Amino acid sequence: MSSGFRVAKAGLQCSAQDSGRIGYQSYGIASSGALDLRSLAIANILVGNPEGEAALETCLAGPELEIEVGNVMAIAGADMEPKLNGEAVPQYAAFAVSPGDILSLGAAVTGCRAYLAFAGGLDLPLVMGSRSTNVKCGLGGLEGRGLRAGDRIGFRSPLAPLDPDPRRRARTEDFSGRVATLRAVAGPQDEFFTQAGIDTFYGAEFCLTERSDRMGCVLEGPVVQAKGKTDIVSDGIPLGAIQIPSQGKPIVMLADRQTTGGYAKIATVIGADIPLLAQRRPGEKVAFKRVSVGEARRDALTEIAQLAELRRHIERGG
């Protein structure tokens, strides 16, 4: 494998992720992929990549990379105060890196996960149509694991360093709010819960626990009351499904979730709001707001249109 950069420090839970391994859940293979698909897409658009191209996802603290091949890159998502050779570089903007440069990210100031995209993409093998890493299964990415110091990853098609281009910039996301309100579609098993339980679910605030990971966000808060047991015959689990186990505390299922499960699902977080959850840290809070399927579809189409407009803005020169 040709080398684009060498990993000097790995950061926390740093792995290669793209838009996911789609079409294999019926075989028990999770989709994986970036938890914050919006930040992944923005970083990729800024460097001219397809929105779902593989990038580095890092959690709470970032890596230190020694650049070995010149390229153009962008960082989106959590603010980890990135520096190039000790000098601050902007997030949500493309910038050039040259051989010998040292790119370093620190601890997240706001947000939880940052995405590092490189023009031309990462030179990693396709496994079931994706370069995403599923660490639990040892599948994809760099030998099915997170980054380690000493690893090298190449660029498939790097761009020569470019002069700064003010068009390759996007609006910075703000993840500093006290509570993130997550819109959710009811069901598919909300009939398992009492009206009081449903009112609690949509009326209370819940706190992310340290047991939260890429598989799911485990929440702490008031008990969501069920009519009886919440065990069901196992069925499929979509991204954002909110299971309520017997103790009555919600778990929001994410990219590395199991493909089926046997707890009733009171609601499902809409795709447009999964990035908000992905950027919450343990100890931070979320609340849920009920929306219709129609609203969820409109929001999904709006996000697609916004990303397309960002790309057009860059390509047509403002």
Put residue 60 in one of left, alpha, beta given phi > 0 → left and psi -120 to 50 → alpha: left
Burial of 173 (0-12, 13-18, 19+ CB in 10 A): buried
Which pLDDT score is estimated for 161? 57
Which pTM does this prediction carry?
A: 0.95
Q: HSE on the CB side for 94, CA within 13 Å?
A: 23
Instruction: Return d(Cα 218, Cα 247) in angstroms, integer.
Output: 12
Task: Give whole-number Cα distances, 298 to 55, 109, 182, 294, in Å.
Answer: 28, 32, 16, 6
Which pLDDT score is estimated for 156? 93
Domains of the chain: 5-155 (no CATH), 179-298 (2.40.100.10)
First to last CA, the chain: 37
Q: Identify the residue whose tokens are 């579809």.
A: 297
Query: Which helix (H) or strand (E) segment is 268 a member of?
Result: strand 265-269
Instruction: Return d(Cα 81, Cα 304) in angstroms, integer.
Output: 28
- What are the backbone angles phi and psi of residue 76, rounded to the nearest 5°? -135, 165
Tokens of 273: 């709001």
Mean pLDDT per 10-residue segment, the chain (318 residues):
87 96 92 97 96 98 96 96 97 94 97 97 96 95 96 88 70 91 96 98 98 96 96 94 96 96 96 97 97 96 96 80
Cβ pair 52, 100 in contact under 8 A: no
Alpha carbon 229 to chain centroid, angstroms: 32
- Number of helices (H), then strands (E), in the chain: 4, 21
Residue 46 identity: L
Which pLDDT score is estimated for 318? 52
